[in-house]
């Protein structure tokens, strides 16, 4: 599957089978998290076979079932965008390894997560993962025109970036982000007001960069 196909195939899944994460997939995820932690100054941790964070009434209310594995998205307190980007890279890797995922900021027991949090860091949220009882379903998304501003004709690379950003998961599916093309090659990404919109923006920026490709454009300062 190419990257767009992985993004199209990913949907939030909240119910998982008993199957354990196969060792090769767990190792691939750990390696990717280690690399992202080094590069982006994060402290994300894979936690396997730990059911208590998703065993209480909050998880039940959130319709989570049989969640035993998750990534604890730990990082500096103000690193929401990096957490969004680093977490989503892990989500897309998990999807390509045949796993299903769901970002979770609210409907879990934060105090039960056995992760290491150093001074100056916090547990921003988690990504539940495992083999889903289903592959999830598509949710309605806003048209690209509502998610970006471009003067004149939209360049093809920018359209591909926006098609990828449109598929990014956001808290409560709010999609409160805006990408603006400045000049011919500079992209300004902005989070709008709302809960978790900085993390959402990091996720959307990760998707945009994958869709637009590495060459011929840059982020605004
Ligand atoms: C930062 C963030 C936090 C989220 N928190 C929760 C949560 O607490 N509980 C939940 O059930 N889903 C949560 N979600 C999942 C979103 O509801 C879901 O991604 C969105 O509805 C879009 O659906 P999709 O992921 O299937 O495309 C969260 C998603 C993100 C990006």
Query: How far apart are the CA of 180 and the centre of ligand 1, in A?
Result: 24
The pLDDT, as a whole number, for residue 179 is 98
**pLDDT per position in the chain (221 positions), as tens?**
799 999 999 999 999 999 999 999 999 999 999 999 999 999 999 999 999 999 988 888 889 999 999 999 999 999 999 999 999 999 999 999 999 999 999 999 999 999 999 999 999 999 999 999 999 999 999 999 999 999 999 999 999 999 999 999 999 999 999 999 999 999 999 999 999 999 999 999 999 999 999 999 999 99
Query: How far apart are the CA of 144 and the centre of ligand 1, in A?
Result: 20
Sheet bearing 218-219, strands edge to edge: 148-149, 177-182, 186-191, 218-219
Q: What angle do CA 190, 88, 50 make, to 5 degrees?
A: 135
CA–CA distance, 175 with 147 (Å, rounded to integer): 8
Query: How far apart are the CA of 11 and the centre of ligand 1, in A?
Result: 9
Query: How far apart are the CA of 184 and the centre of ligand 1, in A?
Result: 33
Which of 7, 108, 169, 200 has most ligand 1 atoms within 8 Å of CB, for mutation? Answer: 169
Number of H helices, E strands in the chain: 7, 8
Which of 11, 64, 100, 105 has most ligand 1 atoms within 8 Å of CB, for mutation? Answer: 105
Query: How far apart are the CA of 183 and the centre of ligand 1, in A?
Result: 33
| Pocket lined around ligand 1, Cβ cut-off 6 Å | 11-12, 62, 102-107, 125, 136, 139, 169-173, 196, 199-200, 203
Could you tell me the pTM of the whole model? Answer: 0.98
Query: How far apart are the CA of 12 and the centre of ligand 1, in A?
Result: 7
Query: How far apart are the CA of 210 and the centre of ligand 1, in A?
Result: 20
Q: Where are the alpha helices (DSSP H) in the chain?
A: 3-9, 23-40, 57-61, 80-96, 144-147, 156-166, 197-212
Q: Catalogue all structural domains in the chain, each as residue range(s) with its CATH number.
A: 3-130 (3.40.109.10), 144-214 (no CATH)
Q: Whose CA is nearest to atom 31 of ligand 1?
A: 170
The pLDDT, as a whole number, for residue 27 is 98
Structural tokens at position 128: 């539940």
Atom of ligand 1 nearest to the CA of 11: 26
CA–CA distance, 136 with 102 (Å, rounded to integer): 10
């Amino acid at each position: 599957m190419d990257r767009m196909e992985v993004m199209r195939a990913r949907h939030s899944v909240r119910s998982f089978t008993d199957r354990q994460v196969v060792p090769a997939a767990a190792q691939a995820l750990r390696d990717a998290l280690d690399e992202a932690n080094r590069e982006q100054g994060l402290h994300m941790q894979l936690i396997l076979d730990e059911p208590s964070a998703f065993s209480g009434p909050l998880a039940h209310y959130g319709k989570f079932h049989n969640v035993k594995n998750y990534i604890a998205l730990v990082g500096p307190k103000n690193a929401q965008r990096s957490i969004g980007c680093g977490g989503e890279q892990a989500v897309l890797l998990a999807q390509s390894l045949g796993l299903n995922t769901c970002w979770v900021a609210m409907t879990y027991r934060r105090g039960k997560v056995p992760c290491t949090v150093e001074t100056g860091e916090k547990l921003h949220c988690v990504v539940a993962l495992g083999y889903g009882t289903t592959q999830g379903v598509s949710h309605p998304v806003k048209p690209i025109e509502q998610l970006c501003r471009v003067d004149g004709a939209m360049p093809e690379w920018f359209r591909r970036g926006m098609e990828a950003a449109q598929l990014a998961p956001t808290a409560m599916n709010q999609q409160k982000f805006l990408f603006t093309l400045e000049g011919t090659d500079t992209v300004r990404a902005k989070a709008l007001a709302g809960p978790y919109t900085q993390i959402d923006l990091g996720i959307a920026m990760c998707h945009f960069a994958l869709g637009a490709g590495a060459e011929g454009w840059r982020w605004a300062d």
